[in-house]
Amino acid sequence: MIIDSHTHITDKNSDLFKELETSNIDGINIICVSGLFEEENVIPMVNENRTKDKQIYLTSSISLDDFQINKAFENFDRFNFIKIHPRVQSLVYEDIRKILIDLRSKHILKPIIIDMFPYRTDRFRINYNRPINYEELLIEFNDYNFVFAHFGGIYLREVFMMLKCYKNLYADTSLITRYFKDSPIDDELYYFIKRLEGEKVLYGSDYPEMKLQESLDLQLKKMQSIGMKSNHIERVLGKNFLDLLSC
């Protein structure tokens, strides 16, 4: 089963569902990000486009805003993951820690996706998105599973070593192959995935950054070209995602 763990709907004219129907992908995880295209817009589109043949999973974004937090808690059963996007939401480490404390107090233990692609904004410095800076978070909240989106961006090596150290850490492959196509960083990603034997890695396209089938074809070809075993590729393409949901 192939699951794209990292997709977005950015407007009401999105072709995501059309592409899903015509692709070899069995399911998608749609990540809602506050400030881009709100959950109340995404959910009706999902309800209209659900089919028996394709699975649709949902990720809620959450911030320090009390209204947003309460809304997320009220509707939480419909979501499979929680997304924290430090850059878009202008969050720093202590903000994220406060969110996790609040989630834990409400006994909400769903997997947490943290964006790990470094950009700079007024409040957010690139250094905030160094994966190693979240090490204490992984230890303090070891009852949560975390997914570092984009495999840490330029910090692939840190994520690779952290995946080997922390049982509650996963990473997804989204964006790297498009942003760093044909670069040493792109090559490193698949080297690390092979070294991990596909364990704890989730396939993702970051749609609409890349079309669903185009991204799948490209990443599958990369994994095959370096000699990954078929059962290890299967872990990346869907098994790890489903196992994570069942934790």
The encoded tokens of residue 5 equal 């763990």
The predicted structure's pLDDT at residue 35: 61
With contact defined as beta carbons under 8 Å apart, do 170 and 5 qualify? Answer: no
The predicted structure's pLDDT at residue 11: 87
Residue 123 has pLDDT above 60, yes or no: no
Q: What is the mean pLDDT of residues 103-116?
A: 91
How far apart are the two ends of the chain, measured CA to CA in Å? 18
Counting every residue written for the chain, the total comes to 247
Question: What is the sign of the dihedral through the CA atoms of 36, 145, 81 and 91?
Answer: negative
The predicted structure's pLDDT at residue 59: 93
SS3 112: strand
* Dist. CA 60–CA 30, nearest whole Å: 9
pLDDT digits (tens, 9 = 90+) for 6-64: 999 988 889 999 999 999 999 999 998 766 667 788 888 999 999 989 999 999 887 76
Residue 137 has pLDDT above 60, yes or no: yes
* Dist. CA 98–CA 175, nearest whole Å: 28
For all residues of the chain together, what is the average pLDDT?
89
The predicted structure's pLDDT at residue 247: 84
Which CATH fold topology does 3-246 show? TIM Barrel (3.20.20)
Closest CA to 186 of 215, 208, 147: 215
pLDDT digits (tens, 9 = 90+) for 184-228: 999 999 999 999 999 999 999 999 999 999 999 999 999 999 999
Token pair 């364990």 in the structure block, residue: 199
* Dist. CA 32–CA 42, nearest whole Å: 7
The predicted structure's pLDDT at residue 232: 98
* Dist. CA 47–CA 49, nearest whole Å: 6
Of the chain, the percentage scoring pLDDT greater than 70 comes to: 88
**What does residue 190 show for φ and ψ, rounded to 5 degrees?**
-75, -30
